[in-house]
Structure 1
């Protein structure tokens, strides 16, 4: 899952970004409203965390311009203002949730996760492909009854492939959805991550490989191993 974090206070931004990455999210950062609006309109995100008091363009204007372009990405607004009117105005502009500073990181993570579930309208967090079961709620993965120990990166990559079962997922899609701006698009991060994932989801050597490479196109997770 990819998150855009727009916050001008560097200590807060770095702390929140670090916590999000530690919990398996790819994070892009922006320190002012103009840069935040650029990212929000140019890239695809699962959730946007948007401070209100920003230089160049405040968070309300960023949100208003986003919604005017039919961008419906869930937005969690951050503010130091704790009045009812401020919250109501933010929600009326199109915010999906509101969090007042100073907040606990655990609460922010819970709100981001809730917005992600709502965005994908998850009534059932369990995804099944062949003998693999991935639970998006408690972040567990089983294959043939064996619990797999996946890194946050591998979990995100497997989730993406399982959601797109029998469809080719391109390298560019993986880079945009799984990785943040700290990764160079010229590096071999996708190939390395795919190798690690294939190894992690094959706890026994006689198990068939479910992820196939389509040379020049990308990768596909198959629903049928025959």
Structure 2
């Protein structure tokens, strides 16, 4: 029969081990709760940053473009041009501030930019149709094509009297083809290069794709970007 002192020692050891086990479980539970709280706070911040970028950034972008157009039209009024330039500077600084706050949580996406383009063009009184025949895009492809849409819409608002626009994404011959076309373009030779097009060409080129522009009859302008359809996730 075990000695009583041995039984007391074994019981004490068991209690100690049980206490350590409970303490360890409590420590793990506290760490999990803290991690969940940090993730929730991070998600809340990211959601706020995305909303701020999408909502506030959208209207600042619109104000910037409309301000630029008004500035050009005020050729004969030096005072008005000066006032508009101050307004534009303020809008640009606010837009930069929004981007700085939200850049860590926001990434361009094709679906977001296509929806934004339709809303923005409707604000200018133009009709915009969006056709998408591709169900899902890898993130890097979505980001690159989102940049193409944004650049195309920005350019058409700055340089065209656009009334109609069409954005189309389809799969064709093993490649994804994004077409952004609008009317109201100036009747002049369409440049094949430029800072905006060159930047897009570089970005899309990194995915094995191409970007090209073309002018058409009746003041139509077309921007086309193509990337491989089987780009890895």
TM-score (norm 1): 0.27
- Structure of greater relative contact order (alpha carbons < 8 Å, 6+ residues apart): 1
Which structure: greater strand fraction?
1
**Radius of gyration: which is bigger?**
2
